[in-house]
Structure formats: C-alpha cells, structure tokens
Amino acid sequence: MDKYQEAMEALLRFRDERDWAQFHDSKNLALALLLEASELNELFLWKKESEAERVNPERLEEELADVLAYALLLAEKHHLDIFDIVLRKIRKNEEKYPVEKARGTAKKYNEL
C-alpha cells in the first residue's frame, strides 16, 4: 500500500467512524478548505519576510495537513485522481507560462 492510499484510508476511516460523511457535501468541504487555508495564512500574517521563513514547524505541519485533508476529501467525493488533475493543470500552465516568457518573472500569463 502506498502512502497516498494509506492516508486516504485513514482519513475516510476517521470520518466514517464519527459519521461525519453526512456533513461532507461539496460546499462544506470547499468552505472547510478555505477556512483551513486561512488558518495556514495566519501563521505568516504580520511577519516580516525573514520571520515568515522561520514559522513554527509544528503549526505549519498541522495547518497544512488540515488543508490537504479537506482537499483530498473533496477530490475523493468527486472521484478525482489528485495526481491526474495536478499533472493536467501543470500541462495547462506550461502552455500559459512558456519558459522563454515566464522565466524569472512573477507576471500573470496575460501580462507576459
């Protein structure tokens, strides 16, 4: 069993043992993901650039795990393979951000 499958099984087991699937409709999963992403961002709020790189690693791990867990649950609900959708998005971004135009710049694709 790979780590992804192990994590998914543990996540679904945790949810199902508590009968929480009833609350995990797409809207609520997306909102929970947004809220957890906000908690992740809070770790960096009001910090200078140098301080932001020294964020508490335990808190970073916990908040990032929450974000990933809700993203995984939302993908699972819609029968999406997370690896496939990430790879497809990278291919789209390769077209929008060709290396010769995008290298070393943070400009959006329509500004290149």
pLDDT number for residue 75: 98
Q: Residue 50 has what pLDDT?
A: 87
Reference 77, options 31, 6, 12, 5; nearest CA is 12
Q: How many other CB atoms are there within 10 angstroms of residue 36's CB atom?
A: 20
DSSP 23: G
Cβ atoms < 10 Å from Cβ of 97: 15
Note down pLDDT in tens along the chain; length 112 residues: 799 999 999 999 999 999 999 999 999 999 999 999 999 999 999 999 889 899 999 999 999 999 999 999 999 999 999 999 999 999 999 999 999 999 999 988 888 9
> pTM score, two decimals?
0.90
